[in-house]
Amino acid sequence: MFDHLSPRELLDAAAEAVRARRLAEVADLEVIAAWAAVHSGEPAGPGRRRNPLVDVGGEGTPRVQDHALGEIALARSSGVVATINALADVLDLQHRLPLTWAVVRQGSAEVYVARKVARMSRHLPRAVVGVVDSAVARMIATEAPGRVLTVAEGKVIEADPALHEERVEEEKRRRYVGLGRTDEYGLRTLIARLDAGDAAWVQATVTRVAEIITPGHPDATADEVRAIALGYLARPAELLALLVEHETAETADPAQAGPVTDDEPLAPSRATALPAAVLDKLRSTDLAKLRPKAVLYVHLHEATLLGTQGVARVEELGPRTLGALHQLLATTQVTVKPVIDLADAVRTTAYEHPEAIKERVHLVTGGDYWPYATSTSRNADYDHPTPFDHDPERSPEAQQPAQTGTHNSGLLQRRHHRWKTHAGYQARQRAPGHYVWLTPNGLGFTVDPTGTHPCSEMEARLFIAFADRHERRDPGRADAGWPVPGSGRGAA
């Protein structure tokens, strides 16, 4: 496509491609802003109390109907949180940072930089946010992103110093420890936000452990050894045993140690030295009792255990080779629980989901069954895709049996569950782990172990009608003969 272009023409094409990408990002934001404008008025209808107007952006931005937030996310093939964040950013840019937005709309600046400025200034009152807007607008098209964000940070403080001090105290309540996704190499990123003093103590402990274990890792880099050392904090029994074993006279009294700072220690820290009384107590204590307990879910085919090359999937850790799995379990005490046969159809007439059903549903679905959902957490609501019939008029003989079971269950995060219940979404289960969705404005989706797949409104409606008809005849029937949206199979 570009083979015939000269070097100068290729440079021009590169510049134009960047501008086109920026304008496409602007168009994406403007579409969701227009959707918000359509749904910014008081909702009508009998369910209006369950559809409140919610604040998405900062002060001075229009409020949006809560139920409208889900469908625009699905239309963008995006997660709900990502779409809400994008909506908050564009509303802030349009209504609070108009000078910056005008530059961005011309394709002259990176959209992500403007969105970061919108987020960092969102807490400011509308009356003073102009200080940030005017400063950023002057430089966002001509300065590097890092410099723009540095100036923006300063202007946020300058706009309201007293508010900044209040936020310093508020931010202390936002301390956290978070885990990233496990990558294909079995590694995971740990992120923590904590008091500077506590961070210094963590650093001191890691430094001391790294000093102890370095001789055992002659080929490892300093960073790699420190990462291994950090892992000891997750295993207090091993950590204490290691520190006790290497407690020597050169480990000075903590009172003699220098002040602990946020800076990297210039020499190995002795801050983890333990008083003699504590040492004596630890030496007489069974440290094995301090080992944490956890339930590990491993998914693998029996052929892998018999020598066929394969990969095991460990929940929250990702795919592992058998060798890596052996290494993971090598120093632990393992209690093997019975294998769960996911082919078993487990049902109950109760409304609440028993633990046995919850276990199977999560193992089959892997998490939230909302289209494009990202959560794999077990901490979710267990939903009936075909709504549970609570009709008290129904006699015991006529009541549909076994409405709760692996044939009619799925996990939904609370927001998704609320929208399905009150915002006009319909969902039905075709088989364990296979679902069909229809949104209020007629978008159809199928969700299965391979992901989310759009389907036509007619296909989704056909399947829902077909499922309801057969559910009345034979509750919990398997999917044989059912129409599959997108497959061309119709209902008989």
Q: DSSP labels for 111-145?
A: HHHHHHHHHHTTTS-TTTTHHHHHHHHHHTTTS-H
According to the model, what pLDDT value does residue 290 have? 59
The predicted-structure confidence for 190-226, as pLDDT tens digits, reads as follows 999 887 668 877 888 888 899 889 999 999 999 999 9
According to the model, what pLDDT value does residue 281 have? 67
How crowded is residue 19: how many other Cβ atoms within 10 Å of its Cβ?
Answer: 13
Distance CA 87, CA 98 (A): 15
The predicted-structure confidence for 388-408, as pLDDT tens digits, reads as follows 877 645 544 444 567 888 888
The predicted-structure confidence for 296-343, as pLDDT tens digits, reads as follows 777 777 776 676 766 777 776 666 676 777 766 666 667 666 667 777
Share of the chain above pLDDT 90, in %: 41
Q: For residue 416, which of 74, 46, 37 has the smallest C-alpha distance?
A: 74
Q: Strand 451-455: give its sheet, edge to edge.
A: 426-431, 434-438, 444-448, 451-455
Does residue 357 carry a pLDDT above 90? no
Average pLDDT, the chain: 81
Residues 390-415 as b/e (b if ≥16 CB within 10 A, e otherwise) read: eeeeeeeeeebeebbbbbbbbbbbeb
Entry pTM: 0.68
Q: For residue 87, which of 60, 52, 121, 62 has the smallest C-alpha distance?
A: 62
Beta pairing partners, 154: none
347-348 and 312-314 as β-strands: parallel, antiparallel, unpaired? Answer: unpaired
According to the model, what pLDDT value does residue 289 have? 62
According to the model, what pLDDT value does residue 57 have? 96
According to the model, what pLDDT value does residue 268 have? 40
Beta pairing partners, 193: 176
Does residue 432 carry a pLDDT above 50? yes
Burial class (CB in 10 A: 0-12, 13-18, 19+), 486: middle
Our measurement of the distance from residue 130's CA atom to the centroid of its chain's CA atoms, rounded to an integer in Å, reads 33
Contact, 448 vs 478, CB < 8 A?
no
Q: Which residues contact 485 (CB under 8 A, 6 or more apart)?
A: 436, 444, 446, 455, 456, 459, 460, 462, 463
